[in-house]
Each structure stands twice: as C-alpha cells, then as structure tokens.
Amino acid sequence: MNNAGPLILEISNLTVVRGGVRVLDIPSMQLREKEVLALIGPNGSGKSTLLLTMACLIPPTTGEIRCHGELITAGRSVLAYRRKLAMVFQEPLLFDTTVYENVAAGLKIRGMARGDVKKRVMSTLELFNMAHMADRSARKISGGEAQRTSLARAFALEPEMIFLDEPFSALDPPTRLALTEDLERILDETNTAAIMATHDQLEALRLSDRVAVVNRGRIVQSGPPVEVMNRPADEFVASFVGMENVLSGKVTACSEGLLTVMVMGRPIELAGSARVGDEAVFCVRPENITIITDQGGATSARNVFPAIIDKIVSMGGYYKLHLDCGFPLVASLTQQSLSALHMEKGKRVVASFKATAVHLIRAGNQ
Amino acid sequence: MELILEGIYKAFTLLVTLDPEVLNITFLSLKVSGTATLISLVLGISSGTLLALAEFPGKRLLVSIVNTGMGLPPVVVGLFVTIFLWRNGPFGFLDIMYTPTAMILAQAIIASPIVTGITLASIQNLPANLKLQILALGATRLQMVLILIREARLPLLAGVMAGFGGVISEVGASIMVGGNIKGYSRVLTTATVMETGRGNFDVAIALSVILLLLCFVINYILTRIQQRERPR
C-alpha cells in the first residue's frame, strides 16, 4: 500500500493505431514502487494492449515509456527494461518440460549460474507451495497448478514490477480464490509493484491500491478502488462497477448542498450541487438501499418510496430485488432478510436510501 | 506369391551373408539420404521458423510455394539439377555430375521444402502469445527463436521423418544425377529399378525389403523419441 513511493514507470502520450483505428490513447500513467494498480474494463477495451505496450512487447505508434526516469527506446535498453519486469498471461504458456525447468526458464535466459538458479527456483516454489511438484511435467498438472507455475516463473525473476493480464479469468472459482489469496500474500511479501488487468471488480478491489477503468482504449477514471466503486465518473464506469441504479432527472430544488431531482415524477434528494433546471445523472449502489415491509417503520433516510417487487433474482450468495417505485430500482438483499421479510413477486414494500448514498455523476444543461 | 517369398528368402540370404555389394548399396543409401536430410534440416528449420515469425507482404504466396514444394516431383528436381551441373551448365565447373555429391544435392532440394513446410506449421501451431511470453522472460530474439524451436520439437520430428522418408524412397533424381554407377553411386532405389528392368525380381524384392526395413528402423527410432516425450 503505497501512494507516494518513488516512480518506477511513467508513460506519456502513448497511442497505438491499428488499421487506422486508435486502439489505445493514454496521455499519462504512472506506477510507483510497491504499488498495485488494477486495470479494469470490459473485454476488448484495450487493457491487454496497454499491458503489452508498457512491457515493450508491442511497439506504440507514438509516446514514451520511462523507467526510473530513463527513456526506453530500442535495442539494448528494451532488453534491459524487459529484464526488470515479468509478465503473466491469461493462459499459463508453460514450456513442454518440468515445473522446475519452467520456473528456471527466465533465470537461465539471463545466464544465471546453475547453483543460483536451483536456489532461486526452489525458494520460489516454496513461496507458491509447489516445491513437491518440481519434477512433474508441466503438461500433466491442473489448470490452477499451471497458472501457479506461470506466476512462480514470473516471481522467480524477482522483478521490479509484474504485469498480469487477467491471470485468473480461465480458472474455476475456488482455484481462482486460492490463487488470488496467494498473489495478495506474495505481492505483499515481495513488495513487487504490479499492474493487473482484470474484468473482475472484486479481484481489483481486493488486490489493488489504485484502479484505472479502461474503456475504448482510454483511461476513463483512476483512483483508489473505494472511490471508483462509489463515485464513478460516468455512466460507463457506474455500470461497470456494479452501480445498477443509474438514474436521471431534472433538478427542481437546490439548497445547502442538497438537490431535489424529479425522476419520473418522484422527488429524489441527493448531496451535490447543481442549478435548478439542470439535467442530473446519478447513481445508488443496490447494497445501499434498505427494504422494509411497512411505511410506518422508522427510517432516517431522506428518500422513502413505496414499491412493488417486480422480480427476485438469485445471485448465488444473495438476491437482487427489481423494484418499481414509479422508477426502476434494484436493491440487494441477503437470503436471511429475504425469508424474514417474506419477499415475493408482487409484494408491496418500502425502499429507502440516504441522500448521501447517492452519487451525482454529472449535472448540467443538455 | 512364390516370387515374393523367394525374394524375401533372397533378401534374408543377402543380409545374413553380408553380401558386400548389398551392404555397400545400403550404406550409400543411408549416407546420401542421411546427409541430404541433415542439410534439409538446417535449411528447412531456419527458413520455416523465419517464415512463421516474419510478417511481410507476399508471405502467403511464399507459404503456398513452400507447400507446393513439399510435393516437388523428384524427376523435375533431377532434371534441373542435371541442367545446372551438366558440363556446359552454370555449375558444370564443379564437376560433380554423376557423383554421390550430386545425389545429396538433389535430395536436399527435395527434402528442404518438406522440412520447411512442417517447421512452418509446427511453429505457427504454438500458442500465439508464447513468443511474447518468452520475450517477457527477458529473452533476446535469438533466444526466443531457439526456445520456440525447442517447443515445437515433437512435430519437428515428424518433419525429420517425412524429409528422410521422401528422399530415401525417391529414385528419379538419384538415377538422373547419380547415374546408378555400380560401386559408386548405386543406391537401394536405383538398384531396384535396374534389377526389375533386368527381370531379376528376386534381387529387386530383396533390395525392396532391405529398403523397407531401413525406413522402418529409422522411423521406429524417431517415433520412439517422439512418443517418449509426448505427454500422456
């Protein structure tokens, strides 16, 4: 966790143009020592291209990459730069040999002495709890073990920074969780700076110090995970980070930082500033909506709406209630609350949320 | 049927008695085709890898040409090698026409496209990101290429088998540029053609059996290597 350490990586005016289309356009981005940055965005948003370009594995059309202030250009400087980093892809991409030889590969490429290679490989395998698998063939291990080997191969290099391109997205949930836990521990123990592309916001939330949301080759928002999750910069980020309730309406009143916005004839109060008559777009997380069964129940929330349950959707560990409050609203509920409140389709309930739980995305004349 | 059995008996006798002429022919076959295969491996693996990794205009055309070359008719190769090595030809000064060297040259030309084509396919069949992963491990371009070839080694062995099989069994080019000179440039295939022409079917069958055995042994060894490495 570090927000003020020295810069390792700085990129500026980076663009990649392919077939006349600008697939990447990053005016500026930095990575600091020990920092873990998550790149989140949908498939095809440019996360992988950004990682590969930063690793000097594909050439940018324009732009500069600096490592410790030194410009990375071509030839020797690229090789020296690549040897400071390591990369893990979505597929394990293991070599057709033993686990040991796979983990040793990068070290042998660097011409490290045999004895040192052995020491380093074994200590890295220990770190990943894989020492007992050293002599197994990489072709005969499970998907999770293969990806663990791929991570071990990267960490064996003791890189200054590690780039991870959706390393867990092909794995089943329990394996994924186990590997995420290991990665979290090892990043922490080794103090390695990392940039990780993922489309899993929970993974990003768990591992990163900073999140950058990528869409159509651009970084649309960057900041601490909690801030990005709760205060998305636009509708795209909002929908991507699970803000299902993105609403819009006309501002009808404004006083002391409290706005009243009419949404389909219902007034919603929220914190923020705008002018009366502005069109406001705002969002509420489903977790921040409280459901009670009768209107008489005490609530300090400013926004209280009678609602009818339209649909109940099981999300595995919890449920999503699609409500009709005169405007559509999605609330999330635990299994326990669902059965305690006897929730069912068509039931009348009351939905409430605080003015401060609402995030104003933007307001203006449109 | 009797003829075949007689031929097999003859082959057995020739082998067991270590007939010097048959041994000589067999040894020359191995030497010529083995050397030609080695040359084709050097040329084919390097150009196949280059072709697989490089991007340039006209690549598809070149790949099609290589693939066509995999089925190059030996007589056509024999004809052109003859023209080039003929006393008045562009390389006539080398004075290697009707020598085992000329046969090696012709066979290398036959086997090279086969090895190139199989190398190309083997390298292209590796995962697309493998090249980037190797570079990301800090490899130089040369190290990357060598690692890719190592990763493609199992399908490449199929290339070795196809290349060797193609030249040990070819007769057209060998007879044209080697001349089937007794004790000098006579190999199993050319000798078989000659003996068949003379009506010595038993000897021809004997030579064929030896040729088949030779092919089998070589391929068996290569297959053993390949299957030993194959993941179970």
Of A79, A93, A139, the CB nearest to B140: A79
Helix (H, G, I), strand (E, B) or coil at A128: coil
Q: B122, B137, B151: best mutation site toward chain A, by most A Cβ within 10 Å?
A: B137
Q: What is the pLDDT of residue A109?
A: 96
CB atoms within 10 A of CB B199: 9
Q: What is the pLDDT of residue A50?
A: 95
Helix axes B100-124, B153-168, angle to 10 degrees: 150
For A105, which residue in chain B has the nearest alpha carbon? Answer: B137
Residue A106 near residue B138, CB atoms below 8 Å: yes
What's the rounded Cα separation, in Å, for the pair A183 and B139? 25
Average pLDDT over residues A312-320: 89
Exposure of A95 in the CB half-sphere (CA atoms within 13 A): 23
* Inter-chain CB proximity B137 and A109 less than 8 Å: yes
- Whether the pLDDT of residue A334 is over 50: the answer is yes
Six-digit token string for B82: 């003859």
Kindly tell me the sign of the dihedral angle through the C-alpha atoms of A268, A271, A274, A279.
negative
* Inter-chain CB proximity B130 and A110 less than 8 Å: no
Six-digit token string for B218: 């070589």
* Inter-chain CB proximity B136 and A57 less than 8 Å: yes
Give the number of residues written for chain B: 232
Q: A56, A85, A93: best mutation site toward chain B, by most B Cβ within 10 Å?
A: A93
Give this complex's ipTM.
0.82
Residue A239 near residue A260, CB atoms below 8 Å: no
Q: What is the pLDDT of residue B112?
A: 96
Of A79, A93, A106, the CB nearest to B127: A93
Cβ-based burial of A359 (10 A; exposed 0-12, middle 13-18, buried ≥19): buried
Of chain B, the end-to-end C-alpha distance in Å amounts to 42
What's the rounded Cα separation, in Å, for the pair A325 and A267? 11
- Whether the pLDDT of residue A80 is over 50: the answer is yes
Six-digit token string for A88: 């893990």
pLDDT more than 70, % of chain A: 98
* Inter-chain CB proximity B136 and A86 less than 8 Å: yes
Question: Cα–Cα distances in Å, from A357 out to A266, A268, A282, A284, B124?
Answer: 17, 12, 10, 6, 54
Which pTM was predicted? 0.83
**Does the CB of B142 have a partner CB in chain A at under 8 Å?**
no
Average pLDDT over residues A273-278: 89
What's the rounded Cα separation, in Å, for the pair B74 and A55? 49
* Inter-chain CB proximity A95 and B147 less than 8 Å: yes
- Whether the pLDDT of residue A14 is over 90: the answer is yes
Pairing mode, strands A279-284 and A266-271: unpaired
* Inter-chain CB proximity B231 and A137 less than 8 Å: yes
**Does the CB of B146 have a partner CB in chain A at under 8 Å?**
no
For A110, which residue in chain B has the nearest alpha carbon? Answer: B138
Residue B176 near residue B75, CB atoms below 8 Å: yes
Helix (H) or strand (E) holding A14: strand A7-18
* Inter-chain CB proximity B129 and A55 less than 8 Å: no
Average pLDDT over residues A119-136: 95
Residue A248 near residue A282, CB atoms below 8 Å: yes
Within 8 A of A110 by CB-CB distance, chain B residues are: 138
Mark A42-78 as b/e (b = at least 16 C-beta within 10 Å).
eeebbbbbbbbbbbbbeebeebebbbeeeebeeeeeb
- In the A/B pair of chains, how many CB contacts fall below 8 A? 51
Helix (H, G, I), strand (E, B) or coil at A234: coil
Average pLDDT over residues A75-92: 92
pLDDT tens digits, residue range B16-52? 888 888 889 999 999 999 999 999 999 999 999 999 9
Exposure of A318 in the CB half-sphere (CA atoms within 13 A): 10
* Inter-chain CB proximity A91 and B137 less than 8 Å: no
- Whether the pLDDT of residue A33 is over 90: the answer is yes
Q: Which of A233, A171, A234, A163 is nearest to A200 (CA)?
A: A171
What's the rounded Cα separation, in Å, for the pair A81 and A68? 10
pLDDT-based confidence at A126, cuts 50/70/90? very high
Any alpha helices (H) in chain A, and if so which ranges? 47-54, 76-82, 99-109, 114-127, 143-155, 173-190, 201-207, 225-230, 235-240, 335-340
Six-digit token string for A60: 């940018």
Of B138, B147, B154, the CB nearest to A82: B138
What's the rounded Cα separation, in Å, for the pair A281 and A286? 16
Average pLDDT over residues A88-117: 96
Q: What is the pLDDT of residue B11?
A: 77
